Amino acid sequence: MKILVANLGSTSFKYRLFKFGAGEETLLAKGGYERVEDHGAVIEDCLKVLQEQGHLDSVEDLDAVGFKTVLGKNLSGCVEADDKVLEALAGFEAIAPAHNPAYANGIRQFARVMPGVTRVALFETAFYQWMSEAACRYAVPESWYELGVRRYGFHGASHKFVAERSAQLLGRDDVAEKVQRLYQKGDTAVERPLRIISCHLGGSSSITGICNGVAIGSSMGFSPQGGLPQNNRVGDLDSMAVPYMAKVGGLSIDEIERQMTKEGGLLGLSGVSNDLRDLIEAADDGNQRARLAIDVLIHSIRQWAGGFFWQMGGIDAIAFTGGIGENNAALRAAVCAGLEPFGLKIDPAANDSLKGEGNISVPGSSIPALVIPANEELVVAREVHRFMEARLTPAS
């Protein structure tokens, strides 16, 4: 079975082609396009390239196309990307304006270019579908909740990969096996609990508490705006700041939204850049606002991680993923600083020298610190494969 995973942005298109068979999964090809003006044209070119490279005999050689959709109104899970998915994406377009229109357009373009190939959407929110009601609800009027205002959680594919891979690295195949079929069956009861704090840190960041492979909560909430300070986005903010800036600052709601999503986060704090690498360089040169932006990010990570530590009654590991989590040793060390009495002690040499996956804690630490490179596309491909297998298996 050959599955193409499409990662769509408003002006970008990235893809990975996987092959599943005989119990094996193989990455056949990957590529991408930037500054895209016509997604239909680049999709057609992508398919042409894959045929020229010998990975596909024709378009019909594809069994499915998978999409890492973000947020749908009244819809989640791993589902066929049909009109219901398009309606769900449109329903929350205002909440995820950078993501939903791009995926809706991509789904339509694939339907036009290859109408006979099954399209499957794996929503980022799917990983959080078993959170308790208390973890999902805001203290808002019931009418708000009925319109969809609740905590959803995002980066689900990344955190699910961390849940499965961390279990494998810790020798807990019982948990890893249950995570693999999590979307098909929510029962993840195991003899011994496995509690992980997963830190997806990048241009967009979130912290998730994971118990026995299931998310118990997320730092992100109703939209990708919530939680940690993002590259341009504010993150958590007291709701009264919005009417205050409208009345006292004289800003319209549209301008407040623009500033919170385009001029906030690390960029707003530092006034320098939304890229942590630039902030570190500026901070090293004595820029105090850049240093403040870094410190606020670290403070927020520790605050959310500490909350999940308390909720789960301790942890068995902390994992770092995402562009920052995988590549910034200094930030990892700062997040874990002072936790030696709890059994989490970073090995400075291992932390500084690590490239790729590994354990950066001192040998024998009761709480390992893991670095796990994200592989969201593989998660999407696996779930699409399971979806297709279930569809092809006759009901008993």
- Find out whether 328 is annotated in a ligand binding site: no
DSSP string, 63-99: -EEEE----BTTB-SEEE-SHHHHHHHHHTTTTSTTT
Query: Which H or E element spans position 332?
Result: helix 329-336
Q: Is 275 annotated as a binding residue?
A: yes
User: How many other C-beta atoms lie within 10 A of the C-beta of residue 345?
Assistant: 18
Radius of gyration of the chain from its Cα atoms, rounded to whole angstroms: 21
Q: Is 34 marked as a binding-site residue?
A: no
* 7 annotated as a binding-site residue: yes
Is 376 marked as binding a ligand?
yes
Q: Three-class SS of residue 106? A: helix
What is the rounded CA–CA span in Å between residue 361 and residue 370? 8
Q: State the DSSP H helix or E strand holding residue 209, giving kind and residue range, or none if neither.
A: strand 206-211
Q: State the Cα–Cα distance between residues 19 and 1, nearest whole angstrom.
A: 6
- Residue 276 assigned ligand-binding role: yes
Cα 221–Cα 224–Cα 228 angle in degrees, nearest 5? 75
325 assigned binding-site residue: yes
324 is known to lie in a ligand binding site: yes
Site of tokens 């009109």: 83
Task: Kindly report the three-state secondary structure assignment for every residue of 238-260.
Answer: CCCHHHHHHHCCCCCHHHHHHHH
Cβ atoms of residues 358 and 152 within 8 Å: no
Residue with the two structure tokens 């494998």: 168
Report how far apart, in Å, the C-alpha atoms of 56 and of each of 44, 60, 176, 300, 383 are. 13, 8, 32, 46, 21
19 is annotated as contributing to ligand binding:
no
Detail the residues annotated as belonging to a binding site for Mg(2+). Answer: 7, 376
Annotated binding site for ATP: 14, 275-277, 323-327
Which residue positions form the known binding site? 7, 14, 275-277, 323-327, 376
